[in-house]
Amino acid sequence: MLCLRQIQLIAVSSFSTFCPVTMALWWFLVLVGFFLLGRGVTNSLVGHNFTTSCNHLTLLGGQAGGTEVSMQRERGEGKECDNFSDVDFHEAFIGTNLYVRLLLYTRANLDCGLELPHHNFTKVPLFHVTRPTTFVIHGYRPTGAPPIWINHITRLLAEQADMNVLVVDWNRGAANLNYFTAVANTRRTATNITAFIRRMTDEGACLDSIHLIGVSLGAHVAGFIGAMLGGQVGRITGLDPAGPMFAGVPPEERLDPTDAQFVDVLHTDMNSFGLQGANGHIDFYANGGLDQPGCPKTIFSGKSYFVCDHQRSVFLYLCSLNRTCRLTAFPCSTYTDFINGQCSRCEAFKPASCPVLGYDLSQWRDKLLKLGQTKVYFSTTAEPPYRKTSYIVDTVTWNQYRRWGLVILRFLNGKNVTETRIDHKPLRFEQHTSMRLLAQFDEDLYPVRKISFRIVTANVIGPQYKIRLLRIMITPLDLPERPPMCRYDLVMEENMDVTFKPLSCDESHL
């Protein structure tokens, strides 16, 4: 019997809950989404503009598509360049056999990848085993096209430190219509790379200096490598680890904190292609790890509907590497608690701030290892630099009648205005009630000359009730250098703006 009630393209938490017919239909619809748009539609996808400072190329969302990169060698500055495998769609349709390549990038050859032999790599002058080495591991490639972000991440990683950047090209193995074949190839790929790393250590490399960055299925490849090496690699970064076939399995069958000395994970698509739960020493949840701003909500948007949320993890990480996005995340039990303003304290990390998404987590690492698994949450905008400016809004009301509504908050500076709506749940205003809210703005407007505050209720026809605010205090959440803004004893009508100049906060009123 067909499990119709289980067919939810957006709300799939685990393949294990599907009946076989439904699971087959689910994957058929997903693959149709990929094939209808083909391999080169990436340049028209919605919601993922990203420009790097190094080469001014624009990344537009879509995991499988974009710039054509062939396996053929190209000549550049007298050197032969080795490029990421571009598997023909016909081959992907039939199915590819696993073949793992390692492409080396350093500061000396950022524009020209060099295929590294698995055995005689010490003879390659550009490869120094005593340098830190970062492996970049891609995920499922249903159409066989190269990831459009490969060149960007190699450049940005090389800017962080003088390191070897090794792109693990397992496209022949990941490029299969049959997702289950690609899943099976994750362990085989991990075995291959583990043997290579062991040879590196034989030549003097230190496991402490190994960093594995895995995207989607690649995150689990990284986890398997780490487990095979006894959890001794220095770090694993998982960018939205794949969920299908990994939900509900034991820790040894997926990425988990024991796979490396330090594991950090970013979640962006837990209700579809990403893995739910906590999988690292620290798990970052962008917008709760679910639907991402700017991503399509209907299947009529084509391929972007399937991949946008999932690969937002890559674009957020690239933005953090590029140092154009400072995305501060806050420890919290749930995203609901976070947007309710209940998670604004970071005492556990003092004197450091709350953790910031990105490459350098050194100032939080030791405390995170002591804390165990830590969940941190943050919200983003739809476009780079993705950062929202957040404020904690504390109010004390003193009105005679109970009113329910939402809040519209505006900051003004001359002709410039930024606005936010706090409307994720009904808010209660009644006599002597303290309330804490989280206000998040897409734009950072500073200094704030005036503030407009409105309480919107469902009362449209009847008399407008007055609401008295004994105090309103607005405190920057992650900008401690900015002082809080206050106002005292405001009387306003529901559904009407009250505009005022912010005052410094008098301790006698607090």
Specify binding-site residues for Ca(2+): 254, 256, 259
Q: Cβ–Cβ contacts within 10 Å for residue 27, how many?
A: 18
Indicate the residue type of 434: S
**DSSP-based three-state secondary structure for 433:** strand
How many Å separate Cα 493 from the centre of its chain? 41
**Cα–Cα nearest to 195, from 239, 229, 244, 159:** 229
Q: What are 61's two structure tokens?
A: 């969302």
Q: Of 506, 503, 496, which is closest to residue 465 (Cα–Cα)?
A: 496
Is residue 30 left, alpha or beta, with left meaning phi > 0 and alpha meaning psi from -120 to 50? alpha
Residue 331 contacts by C-beta under 8 Å, 6 or more apart in sequence?
A: 343, 346, 348, 354, 374, 375, 376
Do 268 and 316 meet the contact criterion of CB atoms below 8 Å apart? yes
The H-or-E segment that residue 16 falls in is none
Strand partners, 75: 80
CA distances from 38 to 88, 286, 301, 306, 334 (A): 12, 29, 14, 13, 38
Q: What is residue 263's three-state secondary structure?
A: strand
Could you list the residues known to form a binding site, using ranges: 254, 256, 259
Positions annotated as catalytic residues are 216, 240, 310
| 89 phi-psi bin (left φ>0, alpha ψ -120 to 50, beta other) | alpha
Q: Tell me which DSSP letter residue 358 carries.
A: S
Contact 76, 112 (CB under 8 A): yes
Per DSSP, the three-state class of 475 is: strand
Residue 294 backbone zone (phi > 0: left; psi -120 to 50: alpha; other: beta): left
Specify the amino acid at residue 101.
R
Number of other residues whose CB lies within 10 A of the CB of residue 419: 16
